[in-house]
A = this chain, B = another copy of it.
Amino acid sequence: MTAATPALLAKARKHLFVAVVSDTLDNMGLVGQALAPAIRPLDEALTFLGRARTGMYREMFHVQPGNPYELEIKLIDDLRKDEVAVLACSGNPSIAPWGELLSTASKARGAAACVTDGLVRDVKAIRRMKFPVFAGGIGPLDSKGRGIVAEIDVPVELGGVRVTPGDLVFGDADGVVVIPKAIEAEVLSAALEKVLGEHKTLAALKKGEKLATVFARYGVL
């Protein structure tokens, strides 16, 4: 129940990938931690592991008087190194809460990534700056007059998974998994061990051994 140490996080960033962490969570009985496949990376070459900072969008159908970006600005300006902006939009396909400006501001603060079930825009510019964004789609529609951040730093759900502020969020080309804070050290350690088993299995399969033989020997598939 202790938090992952910086050393463990560094090791995880170097050796782990999302699929092996997903399997590890499964083995611990946490079978609902992978975001739905509709949430995809803008750039499949980028990976991230960081702590969730959450924002909950709501739909609206008029332009709110005052600053429509107030809580969104507050969340982004407060991001710290290795934090992940997690923006839940109730799966709304008509709003792009993220774009080049927020990517630029987040990167300047050392943030790790943005994960949202809404849309993202300015995708060419964001790819150029190599900031990891995982989104529910691509579209040009600004949030102003369509949605607004109603709360920040509260539990949210996106892609079918609950994210609590402070949870570890891990993304690569295979998708995104959420690692609950309370068991993060245990999950990362177990996943690092599992990686070894997979290497042996893979080597045997490359040599042309039967799956049945290899699975019987290592118990990993």
Contact = CB atoms under 8 A, between A and B. Distances in A.
Interface string A113-127: 000000101111000
Given A76-B211, A121-B19, A174-B122, A101 B221 contact: yes
Instruction: Give this chain's copy count.
Output: 6
A162 interface: yes
A175 interface: yes
Interface residues of A, number: 77
Nearest to A141: B34
Given A40-B138, A138-B174, A145-B26, A58 B150 contact: yes
Given A92-B90, A119-B37, A215-B73, A139 B174 contact: yes
| Interface SS of chain A | mixed
B62 A59 contact: no
A40 B99 CA distance: 17
Interface in A12-35: 17-19, 21-23, 26, 31, 34
5 contacts: A19-B142, A26-B144, A38-B137, A58-B58, A62-B155
